[in-house]
Structure 1
């Protein structure tokens, strides 16, 4: 059985950035070192590490991870490194643009709409719009327009995503 290791003192973002840079250098990548750092930091700490890494090395941490890792491990580490709202926006976009169309590809959106707070969903919608130059709502409607909608309990799930209470940010209107 695994155990959770809690650090007495969390290293600074500068120290973490330096350790990550060292993990990327040399022959092979120190995957355990990457997990040791990013796997033991919360979202706000990872954000500070991303910002610090960019300042120190004039390179995006996401780009460095992308060039040094591969496969499912790379995808998992990159998704973990993003802010939660950006991660969810990217996952939603990937699902909506999947070549494997069908009800199954909407599972991530259903999970997000059911398990996330209204504030998180509003943040996801805002990030989605800024990343992909269209609203999440428009992409959902476009994606499901060719499907038999009676298979999707849209009143309880998709409309939760479409009809969030305002958080100071208004989505684009669907015509």
Structure 2
């Protein structure tokens, strides 16, 4: 799954006071200096941005987010606000938005819960509790149902084994369990799939998928595609893909977001901001290998203006 956040120390000579002053100057007077805001914030780590926010409030008695909302608009505003959030708050907001009102955006819920490490899920649940009247488990229970609901609730328990030991016997047992639950008799035992996919470590799952292929002659993806459908299929495949190569998964999501007419700006913001301190360099590499085009070039051809500039600053 996604490795928990490592704080990138982008700037050794970092002064939150200097940065706060530069942003203040960029927002004062007629017209906003967007380039300075992008330059300052895109070259800082999440931790540093939190310090800039505190310093800004201390110096000027105003929340930096409020200032950004007054000064910027559209996708640039959205991106900068996402960058100013702590990762767990950003995820919590996205989950809440995905479940608010009529209908649920299952794609986002699946992506956010199926790709995160235990520590990230725990932090997000905590943030959710602080920010919204209801807790995340309750919201998932009231907004989803059936197998998908069971799977998401298992993921929210955040007790996936995160060790590196591989037990070959267990891999074989799990492969048999999945076969019995799937190809052998579908529709009765998604529990086996849920347990194996949400509790085993990545290394263990890789061994299980390999054992499955050897024992039953088809890949786990083929089985999931044959035996499940809809959101459950999507969730299972997301977990399998992230287990095998998380960066390939995110490269594909980014590619999809820019492929058709009309770019999904929200997807670009979500992934580039949330992965920027985790594995964005590797995602860029995979993107280049898979699509023979750099992620930066793709962003250049699919976006424009200050939004393009902030995304390129994150990707650089």
TM-score for the superposition, normalised by structure 1: 0.78
User: What is the rounded CA distance, in whole Å, between the counterparts of 1:157 and 1:130 in structure 2?
Assistant: 21
Aligned positions of 1:53-132 closer than 5 A: 53-99=56-102, 101-102=103-104, 105-132=105-132
Following TM superposition, by how much is the alpha carbon of 1:28 offset from its aligned partner in structure 2, in angstroms?
A: 1.4
8 Å Cα contact 1:113-1:158 kept in structure 2: no
User: What is the rounded CA distance, in whole Å, between the counterparts of 1:98 and 1:49 in structure 2?
Assistant: 34
User: What is the rounded CA distance, in whole Å, between the counterparts of 1:8 and 1:20 in structure 2?
Assistant: 17
8 Å Cα contact 2:11-2:43 kept in structure 1: no
Aligned positions of 1:11-26 closer than 5 A: 11-26=14-29
Following TM superposition, by how much is the alpha carbon of 1:107 offset from its aligned partner in structure 2, in angstroms?
A: 1.9
User: What is the rounded CA distance, in whole Å, between the counterparts of 1:79 and 1:55 in structure 2?
Assistant: 21
1:52 aligns to what? 55
- Deviation >6 Å, runs of 4+: none
1:35 pairs with 2:30:
no
User: What is the rounded CA distance, in whole Å, between the counterparts of 1:27 and 1:7 in structure 2?
Assistant: 31
Question: Max radius of gyration: which structure?
Answer: 2
- The structure richer in helix per residue is 2
Other structure's SS at 1:11 match: coil
1:160 pairs with 2:163:
no
User: What is the rounded CA distance, in whole Å, between the counterparts of 1:66 and 1:81 in structure 2?
Assistant: 12
Cα RMSD after superposing both structures: 2.0
User: What is the rounded CA distance, in whole Å, between the counterparts of 2:128 and 2:29 in structure 1?
Assistant: 36
User: Which is worse superposed, 78-87 or 6-15?
Assistant: 6-15
Higher relative contact order (CA 8 A, sep 6+): 2
Q: What 5-or-longer segments of structure 2 have no aligned partner?
A: 1-8, 160-316
> How many residue pairs are counted as aligned between the two chains?
151
Q: What 5-or-longer segments of structure 1 have no aligned partner?
A: 1-5, 166-175
